[in-house]
Amino acid sequence: MGNCLADCRCTTHKAITSEPVCGAIHIPITIGGRWSTPLRPVVLPPQREKFPPVALPTPNCEGDTLASPNLKPFTYHELKNATKNFRNLIGEGGFGCVYKGWINLQTLGAAKPGAGTVVAVKKLKPEGFQGHKEWLSEVKYLGQLHHPNLVRLIGYCLDGDKRLLVYEYMPKGSLENHLFRRGAEPLSWAVRMKVAIGAARGLSFLHDSKQQVIYRDFKASNILLDLEYNAKLSDFGLAKAGPTGDLTHVTTQVLGTHGYAAPEYIATGRLSVRCDVYSFGVVLLELLSGRRAVDKTKVGVEQNLVDWAKPYLGDRRKLFRIMDITLEGQYPKKGAFMAATLAWECLGDAKHRPSMAEVLACLEKIPVPKEGVNRISNFDRLQPMSIPSPRSPPRRHHHHHRSPSSTDRTPRATSPFATQVKSPLSKSPHED
């Protein structure tokens, strides 16, 4: 992959942030210590997807990136008309706002609602947190990578200090809204597993491309859902080319979202695909528990989802303590334990984490209802799990910060990667 982004320097960076909500305060973290020499290469398994490996062309400058034949250039006036003067707001974040619009893909002009193609238009704030480098990175990757589990980038607009991106419209919004928004309809077990599988396919595709791509910002708010709850990864502003040759990682500035970033990446700046696997484990925990990765409204260890949930992941008898109460016990015991065990593996020591191809293979074996994503099967109804009240662990236990004991560890006989010896998970990072 080319070094176009390295040649287009920008002083605006996306640092480790607090919980990804509208108006979040972005707090940069300074990483101390020395950079270590590269480790021996890690051999990834062969690609499992039906889609052939992708080798990205090497653009020499910004103009080559924007000249992608897969993208349509829009004028600011065209997008202003398409969004009715940016009135139909559907999302907002540190980067700016997202608006719903309608365009005619043949003429690139505005269309009447219901008559043209529905699109989502991201308009970056000139003073926003996402700068030109991140904007160009998104154009670069989504303009050349195509997969059913990656959101489609239709075009862009670069007009002075105005930077906009035009995407396919995802009517179900983000996974974050479905899990955490007050009043949202609870997702069934089948839908949660479908979302996890779709997201895993997207990450596996990126990792197994000829020029490996590290997503670096995998989180619930970046997983968008279509009408059938198919998951698609969005926001490639922090994506980075993976290591080449004999290298196993790239050393870079620490960027991402607090609670999702891998602890070894925060500590050393070493970035690899295993960092994405850790982030996937966090999101899988969110799907199981219905809790945010970081929740400052909780007390003590419960503020950090990984620290709170980890002692229960390898214990069938205690797993119910972390399960989302909105599921009302309607999920198979075996499937829940398989998913919890897989999350535990993803959150383990970096050297022993599974690849995304292995994660995907395990997810596809987890039992789900056969009657569709919007219904609960009789199999589920016959195996409800009791719901604790309250859901929080008993206060008499004060050992959640210690390394897992033999009872905390996932039994080798039930682990999807039983041949691997696992190390205890390091404590998840906290804000300075």
Active site residues: 217
Whole-model pTM above 0.75? no
Domains located in the chain, CATH noted: 52-168 (3.30.200.20), 175-381 (1.10.510.10)
In 5-95, at which residue ranges do the beta strands (DSSP E only) sit?
A: 72-73, 89-93
Which tokens go with 227? 């009408």
What is the band of 237 on the pLDDT scale with cuts at 50, 70, 90?
confident
> Is residue 123 marked as binding?
yes
pLDDT score of 106: 80
Residue 89: C-alpha distances to residues 52, 72, 162 (Å): 37, 22, 17
Which residue, chain included where needed, has tokens 């599988």? 197
Dihedral sign (CA 100, 215, 105, 52) = negative
pLDDT score of 375: 44
Residues 6+ apart with CB under 8 A from 270: 36, 249, 250, 251, 264
Residues, the chain, total? 432
Which tokens go with 66? 């924007």
Which tokens go with 141? 């990757």
The HSE-up count of residue 43 (CA atoms within 13 Å, CB side) is 2
Which tokens go with 352? 């022993």
Kind and range of the H or E run holding 100: strand 96-103
Higher confidence at residue 93 or residue 281?
281
Between CA 29 and CA 275 the distance in angstroms is 17
pLDDT score of 59: 47
Q: Which residues make beta-bridge pairs with 241?
A: 213
pLDDT tens digits, one per residue of 283-306: 999 999 999 999 999 999 999 999
Between CA 342 and CA 80 the distance in angstroms is 45
pLDDT tens digits, one per residue of 291-349: 999 999 999 999 999 999 999 998 999 999 999 999 999 999 999 999 999 999 999 99
pLDDT exceeds 90 at position 22: no
Phi, psi of 295 (to 5 degrees): -135, 100
Are the C-beta atoms of 269 and 388 separated by less than 8 Å? no
Which tokens go with 251? 């050393």
Helix and strand counts by DSSP (H, E) for the chain: 12, 12
Question: Average pLDDT in the 226-252 region?
Answer: 89
Which residue, chain included where needed, has tokens 């070894």? 264
Are the C-beta atoms of 288 and 323 separated by less than 8 Å? yes
Residues 6+ apart with CB under 8 A from 99: 83, 86, 87, 88, 89, 90, 120, 121, 123
Kind and range of the H or E run holding 381: helix 378-381
* Torsion angle defined by CA atoms of residues 357, 361, 364 and 365, in that order, rounded to the nearest 10 degrees: -160
Output the CA angle 12-151-270, nearest 5 degrees. Answer: 45
Residue 295: C-alpha distances to residues 107, 280, 298, 305, 411 (Å): 46, 18, 6, 8, 29
Question: Average pLDDT in the 149-171 region?
Answer: 93
pLDDT score of 170: 96
Higher confidence at residue 31 or residue 166?
166
Are the C-beta atoms of 33 and 267 separated by less than 8 Å? yes
Output the CA angle 115-116-121, nearest 5 degrees. Answer: 135
Between CA 238 and CA 115 the distance in angstroms is 35
